[in-house]
């Protein structure tokens, strides 16, 4: 049984030690400008696009579940051009993660300070797999429920043709998605909000809401499900200071979804 003290420590965590110095005056303005630019270049714009996509879907006649959205699509008719564009998209996401880490490093926050130090197989890998199961299994059930009640679009993980490079590309997309999201939306954003004097709960909520917003293109279910994921992932990071398990968990969830869909489509009735 979870003790009251343990539950309180998770719901109302103390700031990490040593606490990040709170910016003042010009530093605060500079941080807000930096955060705004980073989000406009990366997931902030994706969030606005998600809102527009959901609005468009709601204005389309019929049920949300009657509409479909593909996560990974072919990017050219020519196979060589297609794989090249797939790789460019993957590199772009990884460069977003690199941007966040670089900006933190320039301000004195090293990658190991945000949980990307030496990889520890036993805790990092096992916690990552555990988080993937904790989020992925209920997440699948929540998606099916949301789609059944018409609150979510039909999500098609991949429409890429059956090429030899499809599965490696899907796994690379999963890794790139996880790296970009966990570095920017968790480590970068929460660290910067701490430096602005935000509480742990306020910064966690902002991070989770951002994650949910840029998944709204999938429907209300996708948005709410990812807010829940953001709350769990963000709190884990705040309590442990380890980012590797989040990257592993997210990459595992996406890999299973992408590769599993490609393998099971046409063999399992409820998979579109």
Structure token pair of residue 90: 């993957």
Give me the pLDDT at residue 2, please. Answer: 56
CA-to-CA dists, residue 91 to 94, 174, 259, angstroms? 5, 12, 20
**How high does pLDDT run on average in the chain?**
91
- Model confidence pLDDT, tens digit, residues 219-269: 999 999 999 999 999 999 999 999 999 999 999 999 999 888 766 666 555
- Which residue ranges of the chain lie beneath pLDDT 50? none
Contact 200, 13 (CB under 8 A): yes
Give me the pLDDT at residue 193, please. Answer: 96
- Model confidence pLDDT, tens digit, residues 205-220: 999 999 999 999 999 9
Contact 67, 151 (CB under 8 A): no
Give me the pLDDT at residue 25, please. Answer: 80
Element (DSSP H or E) covering residue 245:
helix 244-264
Give me the pLDDT at residue 190, please. Answer: 98
Q: No. of H helices and E strands in the chain?
A: 10, 2
Q: What's phi and psi for 156, nearest 5 deg?
A: -105, 105
């Amino acid at each position: 049984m979870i003790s009251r003290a343990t539950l309180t420590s998770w719901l109302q965590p103390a700031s990490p030690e040593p606490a990040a110095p709170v910016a003042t005056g010009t530093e605060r303005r500079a941080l807000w400008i930096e955060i705004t630019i980073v989000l406009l270049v990366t997931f902030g714009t994706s969030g606005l696009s998600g809102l527009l996509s959901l609005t468009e879907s709601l204005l389309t006649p019929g049920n949300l579940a009657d509409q479909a959205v593909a996560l990974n699509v072919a990017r050219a008719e020519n196979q060589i051009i297609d794989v090249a564009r797939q790789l460019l998209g993957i590199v772009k996401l990884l460069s977003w993660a690199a941007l966040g880490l670089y900006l933190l490093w320039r301000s004195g926050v090293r990658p190991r300070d945000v949980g990307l130090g030496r990889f520890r197989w036993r805790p990092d890998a096992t916690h990552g797999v555990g988080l993937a199961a904790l989020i992925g299994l209920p997440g699948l059930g929540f998606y099916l429920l949301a789609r059944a009640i018409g609150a979510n679009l039909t999500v098609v993980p991949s429409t890429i043709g059956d090429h030899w490079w499809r599965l490696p590309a899907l796994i690379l997309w999963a890794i790139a998605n996880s790296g970009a999201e966990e570095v920017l939306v968790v480590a970068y954003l929460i660290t910067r909000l701490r430096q602005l004097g935000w509480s742990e709960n306020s910064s966690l909520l902002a991070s989770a809401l951002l994650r949910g917003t840029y998944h709204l293109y999938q429907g209300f279910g996708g948005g709410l499900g990812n807010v829940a994921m953001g709350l769990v992932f963000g709190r884990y990071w705040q309590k442990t200071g380890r980012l590797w398990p989040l990257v592993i968990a997210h990459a595992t969830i996406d890999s299973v979804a992408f590769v599993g869909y490609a393998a099971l489509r046409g063999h399992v009735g409820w998979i579109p």
